[in-house]
Amino acid sequence: MGERLRNKTALVTGSTSNIGQAIAEAFAAEGAHVIVSGRHRERGTQVVEGIRASGGRADFLVADLDGSAEASRDLADRAREALGGRIDILVNNAGVYPAPDTLTTDEDTFDRVYAVNVKAPFFLTAAIVPGMSESGGGSIVNLGSWIARLGVPRGALYSSTKGAMETLTRAWAAEFGPMGVRVNAVSPGVILPPAPEGSEPHPGELMMQGTPAGGVGTPDAIAHAAVWLAGDEAAFVHGTVVDVDGGRTGVAVIAA
C-alpha cells in the first residue's frame, strides 16, 4: 500500500469495470477511501471486495447518471455521507460510446450520449465543488479521449462529448481554482484490458502500429496518471489535459 492519497476521500464514477475500476483500485492502493459507483451492483460489489481484500477502503453506491441534475445531486449527497462528510477527489469517468455515423444517429441517441457524457458530470461537479471548497480544496479529474483531437470515422458523436469535457476542464480550472479546487483531465488513447493468450488482435491494435509505444495501453496506464493528477504532487497543475495515448496524437505515426 502507498500513501500518496493517504487520508483522502474519492468518488470515481463508472468504476465497476475497465478504466474506472483501475482508477478506483489505484486510489485505494495509495490510501484513499474510495466510492465505487455505477449501474451494476454485482460488478461494483466485486470491485469493492477486491479492494478490501488488498487492504484498501472502499464502498459501492449504485448510480444511474442519466444526465438529470437530480441524479447527479443524489450521488453527490450519498457519496459525501458515505465518506464521512467530505469528497476530496472526483473522477468523472462514466460514459457511453455508441458509434453510429452522423447520418444514422437519431435524436434519442444523441441526447442520451450527451446526457451521460456531458450533462451528468457537469451537474455532479456543480454539486460537489462547494463542499470541496468549504473543506479546504480538492481535485477533479475528467476523462477526455484522443479522438477528441484526432478524428476517426464513426466517432463524431462520442468524440464531440469528450471535446466538451476537455473544454470544461479548462473552463472549470479557471472557475474553481480560486476556490481551492484543481481541475485536470486524462486523455486516454487505445486502452484495452490484457488479452487472453492466443486471442485474435483487436482492431484498436492496428491504430497503434507505428506509434512510439507500438501497441495499446492498459487501464493501469490511465490510473497512474489519475493518481498523479489527484494528489499533492500535481498541486501546481491546473487546466491540463494529460495525453496517455502512446504518442498517438502528439507524434507522427510511421506506417510499418
Q: What is the C-alpha to C-alpha distance for residues 75 and 27, in angstroms, rounded to an integer?
A: 19
Contact 121, 71 (CB under 8 A): no
CA-nearest of 177, 199, 165 to 94 is 165
Which of 69-78, 195-204, 220-229 is predicted least confidently?
Answer: 195-204
Partners of residue 38 on adjacent β-strands: 62
Distance CA 26, CA 244 (A): 16
| 97 assigned to active site | no
Please give the average per-residue pLDDT across 241-247, as a whole number: 94
pLDDT in tens, 118-141: 999 999 999 999 999 999 999 999
Of 162-171, 187-196, 244-253, which range is least confident?
Answer: 187-196
Cα 56–3–169 angle (5° rounding)?
90
Round to whole Å and give the CA distance between 252 and 115. Answer: 34
**Stretch 175-196: mean pLDDT:** 91
User: Residues 158, 169, 176, 242: which is the catalytic one?
Assistant: 158
Predicted confidence at residue 154, as pLDDT, reads 83
Residue 228 has pLDDT above 80, yes or no: yes
Q: Where are the beta strands (DSSP E) in the chain?
A: 9-12, 33-38, 57-62, 89-92, 138-143, 181-188, 241-244
The SS3 of residue 103 is helix
Domains of the chain, earliest start first: 9-191+219-244 (3.40.50.720)
Note the pLDDT tens digit of each residue in 10-51: 999 999 999 999 999 999 999 999 999 999 999 999 999 999
